Amino acid sequence: MEKPISLFTVTLLFLLFNQSLAIPGTYNILELGAKPDGKTDSSKSLLSAWAAACGSTKPAAIFVPKGRYFVKQAQFLGPCKNRAICFRIDGTLVAPSDYKAIGNADFWLQFQRVDGVSIRGGILDGQGTGLWGCKASGKNCPTGTTTLGFTNSNNIAIAGLTSLNSQLFHLVFNGCNTVKLQGVKVSAAGNSPNTDGIHVQYSSGVTILNSKISTGDDCVSIGPGTTSLWIENVLCGPGHGISIGSLGKDFEEEGVQNVTVKSVTFRNTQNGAMIKSWGRPSKGFVKDVLFQHATMINVQNPILIDQNYCPDNINCPAQVSGIKINDVTYQDIHGTSATEIAVKFDCSKKNPCSGIRLEDVKLTYKNQPAKTSCANAAGTTLGLLGINSCL
């Protein structure tokens, strides 16, 4: 039998872990001039820490102690000399309260061409409420900036991070491979415009686990070029659901495939499991998608395929979607719909949906079986259903 670890050993390991923050290879932004007062710009301190960590040939850490640190804007550029840089954030990074300061920038915090970066803990406060108010008033406002973006990066791990009140999207992954998000929390008002929680496009091997997303747009939006995406144990609401799309905005567009969404709860959302494409020509596609073990609580459109998306009726009226959708399975989906039609497949006349499978779907509206609606959709229905299937 192995000898049990003593209390002395556990205590020693704990002390050594804390002392590691002071050894070479760990860069404390306080020691580099940052001020935890929420007012003094700490951008230079944060970027100095990044320059040192990125230039190190050994694994490195950047430490943000407790406190509020104002960061006007920061761009973390690679490639670096090592592939193991950890941000340990015990405090809060705060964006400018004046939305005009960065409202026309693509990102507030952005990583480009990095490999092996991890973020542990912390709060990112995008302070987007001012911009939301501007947009609601109908004034001429900036588009807004995304809180955190990773572009052309690999082997990214984010755990325990909270994103608050982003001006625009909260987290964006574009052109990335092997990304794991766990225990992420996204929070913005239900009426905040275009504040998608997590957006993924042109990326492969992204995993989103054990997260809670409350926002004014899609909880997770899945753009073109996304492959091998796994989403599990996510609470979504308020928001617009988990959406593949919108796709087909461009004619030359990569497809979406091998997507799994399981054990997700949608609460008071506009949509649940959604696939959306523009009603105009495109070479894109959607295939090999599984929505499994989902709970719907007062969701307006629990299951939706909309291939006639045409905002403001511009550049798409009287056209049909070129996106080909096939092999999409909805398995063990249950709960309540806020509308009479809980399942709606509005597919392309030119490229009808095929291989759609409804398995063990039980959705009710006002304590009665909900209805389904199909246009240009073909597939199968299996299991005990609380709905009248139109397939």
Q: Active-site residues: which are they?
A: 240
Question: Hey, is 14 helix, strand or coil?
Answer: helix
Reading the block at residue 291, the tokens are: 């929505």
What's the length of the chain?
391
Amino acid letter, 139? K
Query: What is the rounded radius of gyration, in angstroms, for the C-alpha atoms of the chain?
Result: 23
**d(Cα 98, Cα 101) in Å, to the nearest integer?**
6
DSSP H/E element including 202: none
Q: Which residues pair with 157 in a beta bridge?
A: 118, 180
Sign of the torsion angle spanned by Cα atoms 104, 106, 109, 113:
negative
| Max CA separation in the chain (angstroms) | 75
Question: How many angstroms separate the first and last alpha carbons of the chain?
Answer: 60
Residue among 320, 274, 330 at smallest CA distance from 301: 274
Sheet with 107-112: strands ordered across: 74-77, 107-112, 146-151, 171-174, 198-201, 220-222, 242-247, 271-278, 301-309, 341-346, 371-375
**d(Cα 102, Cα 128) in Å, to the nearest integer?**
11
**Cβ atoms 151, 171 nearer than 8 A:** no
**E strands in 90-223:** 92-94, 107-112, 117-120, 123-125, 146-151, 154-159, 162-164, 171-174, 177-182, 185-187, 198-201, 204-214, 220-222
- Tokens 């992204």 correspond to 206
